[in-house]
Amino acid sequence: MQTTSTPTHCPYCALQCGMNLSPSPAGGVEVVERADFPVNRGALCGKGRTAPALLSSRVRLTSPLVRSAEGALTPATWDEALGRIAEALSRARAEHGPDALGVFGGGGLTNEKAYVLGKFARVVLGTSQIDYNGRFCMSSAAAAGMQAFGLDRGLPFPLADIPKTGCVILVGSNLAETMPPALRYFTELRENGGTLIVIDPRRTRTAEQADLHLAPRPGTDLALALGLLHLIVAEGRADEAYIQERTSGWEEARAAAMAHWPEYVERITGVSVPELREAVRMFCAPETAMVLTARGPEQQSKGTDTVGAWINLCLATGRAGRPLSGYGCLTGQGNGQGGREHGQKADQLPGYRKLTDPAARRHVAEVWGVDPDSLPGPGRSAYELLDALGTDIRALLLMGSNPVVSAPRAAHIEERLRSLDFLAVCDVVLSDTAELADVVLPVTQWAEETGTTTNLEGRVLLRRQAITPPEGVRSDLHVLHELAARLGVEKGFPTDPEEIFDELRRASAGGAADYSGITYRRLAEENGVFWPCPAPAETEDGENTTPTAPAGAAAPTEAGSYEDASPTALPDGPAPTKTQDSENTTPTAPAGSAAPAGARGYEDASPAALPDGPAPDEAASAVHPGTPRLFLDRFATEDGRARFAAVSYRAVAEEPDEAYPVLLTTGRVVSQYQSGAQTRRVDELNAAAPGPYVEMHPRLAERLGAADGDAVAVVSRRGRAVAPARISRAIRPDTVFMPFHWPGEGRANTLTNPALDPTSRMPEFKVCAVRLELTAGE
Ligand code: SF4
């Protein structure tokens, strides 16, 4: 039995809250506060607090299952189950070619698993058909970030900067439900005199905290951002000197915005011109400000353009790449950031390298010990891959995902999964997707294995094993090792996570997401390390030299700490504001410069500041300290300039009409996580959030004749879902909301539209047209 407390991280969302796991008197482990981790400072939501429940749950899978001749899933040995998978994959490849094999990963997989899964697909299976559910999460923000800054890291600054900025525009994020401990940063922002603007069609618990809540019609926030930029220009609030010095593409973006008159934007969005003006005033008044987006603007068929328009606001006002300012994306899944960096995306190799880049292919192929020409090219994006199941793709290996609930147009995707020749699923429980599989492998959970994740700040973290997994359960890494061997690749697929991480470091070296200077030892000692963190370069005589900061990273200070690059002396109190003649009332230090000694901060993750970390001289001479803040000196584009997006408004893929007159938007509730495969099996969470509902305005309910709790059918062109009405004035009268965590008749994703963003290939989860029917008495 476990006898000591183990510091680790929550298995769920991208905040990756720190927690200690201690032996429980009842057996197993229990969660104990871990106040030393700066991100959550001891706070946890109900999901994190109850996370150990699934470790010892009765519904936990502890034996492989194989489908019998009679069609039932029955227990089998590991040898039999792995043998069946290897045989099915070999057969499909022999009959239909390597691209008949699909691999689908997840944003909750550790960095090591994501890395090995990508390598397995390309080296062992030789298939291009790999993607993952993170495509459904933040891919539009990633694409827009790459276009604007040349680099995608969720937040280019630590969360600890939020309370010190002057104003935050939070677009399409309900973090009071999705990551409650993060709400404290915004509460403290307001306590410090800063302001919070929330953009959301619903008056959510997050919106209730705002100084200004704008509730645009779903799918119109691109127009909203353009209208705000129009006013910024018209009111002479653009920072022309910054634009001149640090950006490109302004004239085109400016011209596009000027075509979006505030009155026109009001007609599209429903947000009034005075509200638009007030938002501009609040955003532009302080010297520092941020725009943070989440799934609202991102999960649209124009998500990349929408995020680009929000980034434009930061560029036009001189905020991006300046201390305590800029644009960031609040990534959702636990390893949503790391999961997109190490090669499980259809178009990428480890280190955020492009699969189409010959130099990138050579570098990674050398680490993998294979011929670069043997590596397949880019494959299909997540929805396109799932849509091809049973046609071009005959066999699928799925790890860490539950698309039966989480994919758009879910009934169709369920049908595609059923039409496969062969489906293998690795999971901890018999998820809705695992129920359809030919073979199910029971795998270890977060507290039973060691591995790394990268949180929404780009902070690489070590999750430590706290308990021994149950008999009969093995890690995903073991599965890939065994399958590789059975498919004829004996080497290159170890099961030790640290050995894999060391290979990942080499594969990422020199890439955008450079992990080469990060080790398990450092992660344990430093409470995480921000990438990029290059390894010390070796001189000819074998000596280490100080690593150079990668493009887009802030230069290290004399103490070797990037963490201390905050600009101001950060006195407790409000953020600096502009006087009427635009002179700052509080002086700020130049971009990229270090904070004076004694600067206030919630954290100091620099190695030098930590008791067990290297001394400052040592850190400066050999060890890269990591990069909490990006872009302070230059952006990661070729010319070092951030690029404006010249975008114009376009409507959602499916506008309401006579047959489908109401808008549907989907989202999350605090007690469930993503497809609910894990959290629906935790009694306390299930009791708190037992099922879906249809939130609607009283006026809409009256028109429908529905009372609170009445069963309402929501019908779209893709199907029908039924759930009880929840009547609330928190939502617009033209819109209904459904959380998407449940399967069955209340499955919200039965309804959602798979119309894809042309760049990010993100489906339009956030808005589609529906009609409502009262089903009571049916
Ligand atoms: Fe923290 Fe997210 Fe886990 Fe809740 S689910 S404890 S917010 S990491």
Would you say residue 574 has pLDDT above 70? no
In ligand 1, which atom is closest to the CA atom of 180? 7
Task: Decide: residue 577, CB within 10 A, 0-12 exposed, 13-18 middle, 19+ buried.
Answer: middle
Q: In what order do the strands lie in the sheet with 6-9?
A: 6-9, 18-23, 29-32
pLDDT (tens digit per residue) in 284-343: 999 999 999 999 999 999 999 999 999 999 999 999 999 999 999 998 888 989 888 999
- Residue predicted with more confidence, 768 or 333: 768
**673 Cα to the center of ligand 1, angstroms:** 10
State mean pLDDT over 395-407: 96
Domains in the chain, start-ordered, CATH in brackets? 6-54 (2.20.25.90), 65-137+336-508 (3.40.50.740), 139-330 (3.40.228.10), 662-774 (2.40.40.20)
pLDDT (tens digit per residue) in 376-387: 999 999 999 999
DSSP string, 450-512: -EEEE-TTSEEEEE---SPPPTT-B-HHHHHHHHHHHTT--SS--S-HHHHHHHHHHHHTTSS
Ligand 1 atom 7: residue of nearest CA: 179
To test ligand 1's pocket by mutation, which of 31, 44, 678 has the most ligand atoms within 8 angstroms of CB? 44
**158 Cα to the center of ligand 1, angstroms:** 17
Which ipTM score applies to this complex?
A: 0.99
**575 Cα to the center of ligand 1, angstroms:** 28
Give the separation between CA 26 and CA 28, rounded to whole angstroms. Answer: 7
Return phi, psi of residue 711, to 5°: -70, 125
Would you say residue 434 has pLDDT above 60? yes
What confidence category does residue 26 fall into, taking pLDDT thresholds of 50, 70 and 90?
Answer: confident
Q: Which residues have a Cβ under 8 Å from the Cβ of 541 and sit 6 or more positions away?
A: none
Task: Decide: residue 621, CB within 10 A, 0-12 exposed, 13-18 middle, 19+ buried.
Answer: middle
pLDDT the model gives residue 28: 86
What's the chain's average pLDDT? 89
What confidence category does residue 608 fall into, taking pLDDT thresholds of 50, 70 and 90?
Answer: very low
Would you say residue 597 has pLDDT above 60? no
User: Which amino acids bring their CB within 6 angstroms of ligand 1?
Assistant: 10, 12-13, 15-17, 40, 44-45, 47-48, 179-181
pLDDT the model gives residue 551: 56
Would you say residue 412 has pLDDT above 60? yes
Give me the count of residues in the chain. Answer: 778
User: CB-hemisphere CA count at 13 Å for 255?
Assistant: 4
Cβ-contact 652, 765 below 8 angstroms: no
To test ligand 1's pocket by mutation, which of 8, 9, 13, 178 has the most ligand atoms within 8 angstroms of CB? 13
Would you say residue 566 has pLDDT above 80? no
Six-digit token string for 221: 């926030």
**678 Cα to the center of ligand 1, angstroms:** 14
Return phi, psi of residue 48, to 5°: -65, -40
Q: How many CB atoms lie within 10 A of CB 720?
A: 17
**440 Cα to the center of ligand 1, angstroms:** 28
Counting residues of the chain whose pLDDT is more than 70, the rounded percentage is 88
In ligand 1, which atom is closest to the CA atom of 16? 8
**48 Cα to the center of ligand 1, angstroms:** 5
Ligand 1 atom 2: residue of nearest CA: 13
What is the DSSP-derived secondary structure letter of residue 160?
Answer: G
**16 Cα to the center of ligand 1, angstroms:** 6
Ligand 1 atom 3: residue of nearest CA: 48
Ligand 1 atom 4: residue of nearest CA: 45
To test ligand 1's pocket by mutation, which of 16, 21, 45, 454 has the most ligand atoms within 8 angstroms of CB? 45
- Residue predicted with more confidence, 332 or 649: 649
pLDDT the model gives residue 138: 87
Across 251-260, 545-554, 709-718, least confident range: 545-554
To test ligand 1's pocket by mutation, which of 47, 671, 674, 685 has the most ligand atoms within 8 angstroms of CB? 47
Give the separation between CA 741 and CA 735, rounded to whole angstroms. Answer: 19
**105 Cα to the center of ligand 1, angstroms:** 21
In ligand 1, which atom is closest to the CA atom of 49? 6
With b meaning 16 or more CB within 10 Å and e meaning fewer, what string describes 291-314?
bbbbbbbbbbbbbbbbbbbbbbbb
To test ligand 1's pocket by mutation, which of 8, 9, 12 has the most ligand atoms within 8 angstroms of CB? 12
**638 Cα to the center of ligand 1, angstroms:** 37
pLDDT the model gives residue 575: 39
Would you say residue 590 has pLDDT above 70? no
**17 Cα to the center of ligand 1, angstroms:** 6
To test ligand 1's pocket by mutation, which of 54, 179, 206, 459 has the most ligand atoms within 8 angstroms of CB? 179
**Could you tell me whether strands 719-727 and 711-716 are parallel, antiparallel, or unpaired per DSSP bridges?**
antiparallel
Give the separation between CA 531 and CA 495, rounded to whole angstroms. Answer: 24
- Cα angle, residue 160 at apex, residues 159 and 162 outer, rounded to 5°: 70
To test ligand 1's pocket by mutation, which of 40, 178, 206, 459 has the most ligand atoms within 8 angstroms of CB? 40
Give the separation between CA 519 and CA 620, rounded to whole angstroms. Answer: 17
What confidence category does residue 3 fall into, taking pLDDT thresholds of 50, 70 and 90?
Answer: low
**149 Cα to the center of ligand 1, angstroms:** 29
Ligand 1 atom 6: residue of nearest CA: 48
Would you say residue 448 has pLDDT above 80? yes
**Could you tell me whether strands 18-23 and 29-32 are parallel, antiparallel, or unpaired per DSSP bridges?**
antiparallel
**102 Cα to the center of ligand 1, angstroms:** 31
Which of 20-29, 523-532, 559-568 is most confident? 523-532
In ligand 1, which atom is closest to the CA atom of 179? 7
**443 Cα to the center of ligand 1, angstroms:** 22
End-to-end C-alpha distance for the chain, whole angstroms: 54
**741 Cα to the center of ligand 1, angstroms:** 16
DSSP H stretches of helix in 125-196: 139-149, 175-178, 183-191
pTM over 0.80: yes
To test ligand 1's pocket by mutation, which of 16, 17, 684 has the most ligand atoms within 8 angstroms of CB? 17
Give the separation between CA 579 and CA 585, rounded to whole angstroms. Answer: 6
For residue 277, the surrounding DSSP H or E stretch is helix 273-284
Q: Where are the beta strands (DSSP E) in 668-741?
A: 694-696, 711-716, 719-727, 735-739
Give the separation between CA 544 and CA 619, rounded to whole angstroms. Answer: 12
In ligand 1, which atom is closest to the CA atom of 182? 7
State mean pLDDT over 340-360: 93
State mean pLDDT over 138-164: 95
What confidence category does residue 151 fall into, taking pLDDT thresholds of 50, 70 and 90?
Answer: very high
pLDDT the model gives residue 582: 35
State mean pLDDT over 29-38: 93
**671 Cα to the center of ligand 1, angstroms:** 10
State mean pLDDT over 433-439: 98
**614 Cα to the center of ligand 1, angstroms:** 30
Ligand 1 atom 1: residue of nearest CA: 17
Would you say residue 88 has pLDDT above 90? yes
**692 Cα to the center of ligand 1, angstroms:** 21
pLDDT the model gives residue 539: 57
pLDDT (tens digit per residue) in 453-512: 999 999 999 999 999 999 999 999 999 999 999 999 999 999 999 999 999 999 999 988
